[in-house]
A and B are shown apart, each in its own frame.
Chain A
Amino acid sequence: MGRRLIKILAVLAVLAMIMGACQTDDPSVETEEPEAAPSFEPGSYMAELQERGKIVIGVKYDVPQFGFLNPATNQPEGFDVDLGNLVGEALGVDVEFVEAISANRIPFLTEDKVDLIISTMTINEERKQQIDFSIVYYVAQQRLLVRKDGNIKSVSDLNSQKGTVCSAKGSTSEKNIRIAAPDANVVLQDGYSQCFQLLQNRQADAVTTDDVILVGLLKNDPDQFQIAGEPFSKEPYGMGIKKGREGFKEFVDGVISEAKSDGTWVVLYNKWVQPVTGESATPPPDDVEAEAPAPPA
């Protein structure tokens, strides 16, 4: 029996190794031919990245349109991912994407696990204490998604009726809704499809987050649900960079500025966001202040 156990374990070990070998460790390594890589001042962070030959970028894997690990291709895709590829191209290095969730993205940067975070992250004062941000690359607004036949049609309804509202753990949406509707019952889930399920089930009266994500949810069942009320916050998205990386922020800003001015931004917007919202848009200004909601009067 003991021998048999050892044999079984040995077989399992071999299987584990084979599996390990078969598996392309990370689905997200994208190799792109470096085309006439620009050269940087030795000692700068860009030169360091070029020497290493790759840049590691943290993106979301579960937010369709921005950062999503597409099951069909097993590759991350979306607005944020394409911007990440632009940065990689500008450096002339490979891009490796890793998943960054709200709870770990700032530690990821400060602990050098990633070089850049592009994950629908709102630029705000609290976070500026810990990391640097690029210029604004997208501006979202927080709104509510509700049932058409429900009683709640606005943030003030939500507050006065002490409704249940769902959002994602660790998001700015959570913080904002607690300010805008302090009497509402906030239920936090790991992702927005769970929130949408709760809304469908009538376990929640509303889902709140950035408009782009809500529109994506709404597309699923526009007959029964609607986006209601006025936007109540402004969420300028920026790329997160570790503090003290001289020159890197300026470099990333340059990539974003160029994308905004040469039409790439609009191409990306039309590729990812426009099909969902049906609205056209122009690139946002470089400097947009986040606007937190006002508490109810």
Chain B
Amino acid sequence: MRKRILRWTIGIGGSAAFVALFVWAGYRMYGPGDIGERVERFQRRWAPFYKGIGDGTALNYWTFVGRGLILTLEAAVISILLSLFFGTLLALLRLTRNPRLRFPAPTVVRYALSAPATTLIQTIRSAPLFLLILYTFIAAPKLGLQLTALRAGIFALTLYTSCVLAEIIRAGILSLDRGQFEAADAIGLSYVKKLRFVVLPQAMRRMVPSMVSQLVTLIKDTSLLSIITVTELYRRLYIIQQQAFNPIETFIVAGVIYFVINFALSTFARRLEVGPSRVGGASAAAVQGLGVEDQTLVVTEAAAGRGRTSSHSRTDP
């Protein structure tokens, strides 16, 4: 009984502190001054989002933000699709050296294909994405790479994500049971047919959650394109700030929009995850131990007393 009281005290106390923090923050934010002044500040800073400023209605402002959101999603979706293609290509190039896939070429050729792919993957994955984006926009024109801001952004995002996905795909392929490769060779499938009908379908299936996670990451990362003048979501809210002087309020709006989309996608990703029992061959947990920042985590909620097991993947934080 005493224990129970203690638990509830900690629980309620903690939650109350949490709520109090927000109430205090809301009050402080619109100070100093009496309640009237605070309300006036509150209304002025939130104006774009419920009544508009001057000739611009709230609808105008939301349309403006909406256009940015569309551009954000567009950049993210185009990048993930391109990255899926180039990532698979890079992974296969890197794997030419691996004996398990039996790439039909002499050893020298296999190494010649594999080495540059490996170097590219490792280098790009180890550089900050923010720097890559700035580089593509500001420095690369001197190399003759002439792109508009949006294209430069998509280029940088695709380059980076391809290299991250390449490692996920490579690990996905290597996680397949050896028997799968041997069987494919035994029935005389060509290299291409082996990939198309045996290896890639199985590997891809295991990587669905990682892909969706990568999309979430991309949606977050498109905000970096605002720095190179792509008028996506974040940039547009920043422009509203310059007019309405409400950085905090616009950040809150941006945060809520990003959160809703990404949380929905993450939840969707978790649903897509397949339990170990449903995966053929090796268990999904074998995709563990990937390169730089990708991990597949097996999360058990058993400790919380729920006894539910789900494999949970996450990619680049």
- Residues of A whose CB lies within 8 Å of any CB of B are 1-2, 4-5, 9, 12-13, 15-16, 19-20, 22-23, 27, 61-64, 68-74, 98-101, 103-104, 107, 111-113, 190-194, 196-197, 217, 220
List 15 additional A-B contacts (Cβ < 8 Å) besides A69-B236, A74-B63, A104-B137: A1-B208, A4-B208, A20-B74, A23-B71, A27-B231, A61-B239, A64-B243, A69-B239, A71-B61, A71-B240, A98-B229, A99-B149, A104-B138, A190-B227, A197-B247
- Which one of B54, B205, B239 contacts A68 once the chains associate, using CB atoms below 8 Å? B239
Task: Decide: A71 near B56, CB < 8 A? Known: A12-B81, A16-B78, A111-B146.
Answer: yes
Distance from B316 Cβ to chain A, minimum over Cβ atoms (Å)? 19
Is B241 in the interface zone, CB < 8 Å from A? yes
B67 partner residues in chain A, CB cutoff 8 A: 23, 27, 74
Q: Classify chain B's interface size.
A: 35 or more
State whether the Cβ of B122 lies closer than 8 Å to any Cβ in chain A.
no
C-alpha gap A4/B201 in the complex (Å):
11
**Chain A, residue nearest B202 (CB):** A2
B residues in contact with A4, CB < 8 Å: 208
A233–B65 alpha-carbon span in the complex (Å): 37
Chain A interface helix/strand/loop/mixed: mixed
Min CB distance B133 to A, Å, is 12
Q: How far is the CB of A109 from chain B (nearest CB, A)?
A: 11
Complex CA distance for A68 and B54, rounded to whole angstroms: 15
B208 CB to nearest A CB, Å: 5
Docked CA distance A12–B274 (Å): 22
Of B74, B141, B231, the contact of A107 (CB 8 Å cutoff): B141
If A107-B141, A197-B247, A220-B245 touch, whether A72 touches B77 (CB-CB below 8 Å) is no
On chain B, the residues within 8 Å of A113 by CB distance are 146, 148
Assuming A13-B81, A72-B52, A191-B238, is B204 touching A5 (CB within 8 A)?
A: yes
Which residues of A are found within 8 Å of B272, using beta-carbon distances? 1
* Chain A residues, Cβ within 8 Å of B243: 64, 68, 70-71
User: Which of B71, B138, B148, B229: most chain A CB closer than 10 A?
Assistant: B229
Minimum Cβ distance to chain B for residue A67 (Å) = 11
Taking CB atoms, residues of chain B closer than 8 Å to A23 are 67, 70-71, 74
Given A62-B239, A72-B54, CB of A99 within 8 Å of CB of B231: yes
Residue contact A72 to B53, C-beta cutoff 8 Å: yes
A217 proximity list for chain B (CB < 8 A):
245
Q: Which residues of A contact B228 (CB under 8 A)?
A: 104
Chain B residue numbers with a CB within 8 Å of A69 are 231, 236, 239
Cβ contact of B64, chosen from A71, A191, A197, cutoff 8 A: A71
Residue in chain B with minimal CB distance to A111: B141
Q: Indicate whether B153 reaches chain A with its CB closer than 8 angstroms.
A: no
A–B Cβ pairs within 8 angstroms, 15 of them: A5-B208, A12-B80, A16-B78, A16-B81, A64-B243, A71-B56, A71-B64, A71-B65, A72-B52, A72-B54, A72-B57, A98-B148, A99-B231, A190-B238, A197-B245
Give every chain B residue within 8 A of A196 (Cβ-Cβ). 245
Over the window 188-229 of chain B, the binary record of Cβ atoms lying under 8 Å from chain A Cβ atoms (1 yes, 0 no) is: 000000000000010011001001000000000000000111
Is B227 a contact of A61 with CB atoms below 8 Å? Answer: no
Query: Counting CB contacts under 8 A, is B277 at the interface?
Result: no
B61 engages A191 (CB within 8 Å): no
Alpha-carbon gap, A196 to B243, bound state (A): 12
Q: Are A101 and B229 in contact (CB under 8 A)?
A: yes
**CB-CB < 8 A to A103: which residues of B?**
138
Set B56, B63, B138, B229: member contacting A70, Cβ < 8 A: B56
User: Which A residues are CB-close (under 8 A) to B81?
Assistant: 9, 12-13, 16
Q: Is the beta-carbon distance between A74 and B241 smaller than 8 angstroms?
A: no
Contact status A73-B77, CB under 8 Å: no
A22 to B66, CA, bound (A): 12
Q: In the complex, are the beta carbons of B64 and A74 less than 8 A apart?
A: yes
Is B60 engaged at the interface, CB distance under 8 Å to the other chain? yes
- How far, in angstroms, from A111 to B138 measured CA to CA in the complex? 11
Q: Which 7 A/B pairs are nearest by Cβ-Cβ distance?
A: A72-B56, A71-B64, A99-B229, A16-B77, A72-B60, A1-B205, A193-B241
